[in-house]
Chains A and B, each alone.
Chain A
Amino acid sequence: MTDAALTTLLDQMDADIASYLEACVHCGECAEACHFYLATKDPKYTPTWKLQPLVRAYRRHKAPLRGIRGMFGLLPPEVTEDDLRDWEELVYDSCTMCGRCTLVCPMGIDIAGTIRKMREAYAAADIAPDGLKQARENVEKTSSPMGVTAKALLAQVRHQEEETGLKIPVDREGADYMAIFSSHEIMASPEIIGAYARIFDRAGLSWTISTKAYEATNVGVQIGSAPLAKKLVRRVVDEAERLGVKYVVSPECGHAYGAIRWAGPNLLGRSFGFEVIHIIELLDRLRAEGKLPVGDKDGRRMTLHDPCQIVRRGGLLKEPRNLLEGACSNFVEMKGAGIANLCCGGGGGVSANPRAEELMIAAFGEKLKQIDEIGGIEAVVVPCANCRGVFEDGLFEHDRDEDLEVISLGQLVADRLAGDAPPKPSE
């Protein structure tokens, strides 16, 4: 193994990681929570098995009493670069870092967080899927994994101004809220920018979008590079502090929220001069304050997909449900909804990894089964742009794209505002 990879791998091992690796009793429960195992029944997708290179490095270099084990020839062999390459598929293609395995684990082991640490070694050795490497390259050039430039953003903003008839503030100093978006939202569903404009206008919020820090996606977190993750968080933090905003609004994107809200201060080594708030959190706060009067409710039979990084690992469990209660009249929960909900199959960089597409679509099949168990669902609310992309691809591949609509929560809230007809889509 390269020195950089081994050093990085060993650097990740703190008391938490050590306690996880020490406590695993190989009970195999985690397999029953993993959508990749459920979809394929291949034992190699058992979550704890994905940690093997880390386990071996820990036992050889860090584990207490390793000296005595060594005297009896019981230390595992050194992890080699070939071992890392052999495990690359398990670490990147078949783990969305969704954390569902932690719920079923009798030891409460955070396998998702440990995979995230393992990816640091892979990134240090430059062993990563081509799709994520390409995204990293795009970020270096444009700050966006999809290569979205400030010019492209401004074009979408102007277009949404025409759609909504509202002025969308850009680079406004002294605004209270600075909204950031994922590339997927900006390019594939720019109407979400218009939805923000309508909601914030109705609530009377002072807000802005920055042309220097508009991208929320953090490829550093996905590929496993703390230096890159830090750089991307710093870009948003510096701009938010320069503009003097009170809040940065994290978009409907799972890992982006965790990257800036929970990992951000630790990556930068300091707290921020503003508060990070998720758009769902903000909408629920505005709802509670009576600033988002609801008009006609959506009457379709709907359910909610809980994005893992927002709900299970992000802590926003009640907020989306509060909003749905106000926005739709026929809301039904899935079995296992909330903290134990199944992942879409494409988080943690999997959807950005073309090599993993077949596996991702198979894993999405488990999600689809969960929805189908309810019966008669017409639309599924998906408050994560990446999950929405996976849903759209997955429904298409499973020939279900005609009978199940996928909608953003922000969009739904905006469309249900009292006395505010949704803008008609332009040609």
Chain B
Amino acid sequence: MTVLQFLEGPMFYAAFAIFAVGAIWRVAGIVRLGRKPDLAPPKGSAAAGWFKGNLRHFVPRGLFAERTWMHLLGGYAFHLGLFVLLVFAAPHIAFFERFTGLSWTALPRWGFILAAEFAFAGLIVLWVRRFSDPVMRQISDRDDHAGSWLTFLVMLTGCLALEEAHDALRALHMGLVNLWLIYFPFSRLMHAFTFALARGATGAVYGRKGMNP
């Protein structure tokens, strides 16, 4: 078994299992804490508020967008770029097909480059802001930096491996992907799942009050 075969085979299975079990465990651990029923007579629907809260916070309120435009641009560029790369990059689709037999249309090369540029630019903006802004320096911890660096390296090695010309580059990418998957459930990267819980909790409370969260 070559290093690449190990990283794409047993190591990937193990990393993905840790990712999946860890993420489910963490979300279940939050939900399991429960909450007391709200006895105040509602003015609106908590369930509708849960969904509204989740949707509403995808879009910034105009008043605040003026003050936080740098973070907004960086955040949107990074997250949208990363999503496109993850789901529509041809090697990712091929990799997914190997395990599930499912396939879909991949991005053309120029689309990949564009998405990658958005994702890199966004991540760099967010990272520069994290170490240069006094507020960000105050509130950031090791996890914030580790998550950013790891994601950056996964993206960088992914671009290097795009041509699939060298097994070593592909192995480097897969090794970092595995590390990223293992790190994920123990880190703040979990916000990819917990955002819905937080937005939903606030949305439900506001919804009961008949407010738009």
Contacts and interface: CB of A to CB of B under 8 A. Distances in A.
A238 to B, nearest CB: 17
* Interface size of A as a range: 35 or more
Nearest to A23: B198
A32 B67 contact: yes
Nearest to A28: B135
Contacts of B103: none
Contact of A335 (B43, B63, B198, B202): B63
A65 B25 contact: yes
Given A32-B64, A263-B40, A271-B41, A108 B139 contact: no
Contacts of B57: 105-108
B202 A109 contact: yes
Q: What is the predominant secondary structure among interface residues of chain B facing chain A? A: helix
Nearest to A108: B199
Interface stretch (B7-15, B27-35, B83-91, B162-170): B27-35
A154 interface: no
Contact of A110 (B56, B205, B211, B212): B205
A43 B130 CA distance: 13
Nearest to A111: B202
Pick from A22, A37, A46, A261 the residue with the most CB of B within 10 Å.
A22
A394 B211 CA distance: 30
Contacts of A110: 201-202, 205
Interface string B17-40: 000001001101111111110111
Interface string A354-386: 000000000000000000000000000000000
B40 A315 contact: no
A108 B202 contact: yes
Nearest to B59: A106
A16 B201 contact: yes
Interface stretch (B92-100, B111-119, B171-179, B185-193): B185-193
A269 interface: yes
A314 interface: yes
Interface string A1-37: 0000000000001111111101111111101110001
A19 B40 contact: no
Contacts of B5: none
Interface string B54-79: 10110011011001100100010000
A68 B134 contact: no
B26 A22 contact: yes
Nearest to A312: B211
Contact of B186 (A16, A43, A68): A68
B14 to A, nearest CB: 15
A261 B138 contact: no
Interface in A305-326: 312-315, 317
B33 A27 contact: no
B43 A315 contact: yes
B76 to A, nearest CB: 10
Contacts of A15: 30-35, 197, 201
B26 A65 contact: yes
A108 B213 contact: yes
A27 to B, nearest CB: 6
B212 A339 contact: yes
A113 B144 CA distance: 25
A275 B202 CA distance: 24
Interface in A13-72: 13-20, 22-29, 31-33, 37, 41, 43-44, 46, 48-49, 62-65, 68-69
Contacts of A20: 198, 201
A407 interface: no
A264 interface: yes
B67 A102 contact: no
A108 B205 CA distance: 11
21 contacts: A14-B33, A22-B190, A23-B191, A23-B195, A26-B141, A26-B144, A27-B75, A64-B30, A102-B202, A104-B60, A107-B194, A108-B56, A113-B205, A261-B40, A263-B40, A266-B40, A271-B39, A313-B209, A314-B209, A315-B211, A340-B61
Please list the 5 inter-chain residue pairs (A to B) with the smallest Cβ-Cβ separation, ordered nearest first: A64-B29, A19-B197, A23-B198, A108-B199, A315-B209
Given A266-B39, A315-B210, 12 more contacts: A22-B197, A22-B198, A26-B136, A26-B141, A102-B213, A107-B195, A108-B54, A110-B202, A110-B205, A265-B39, A266-B38, A275-B41
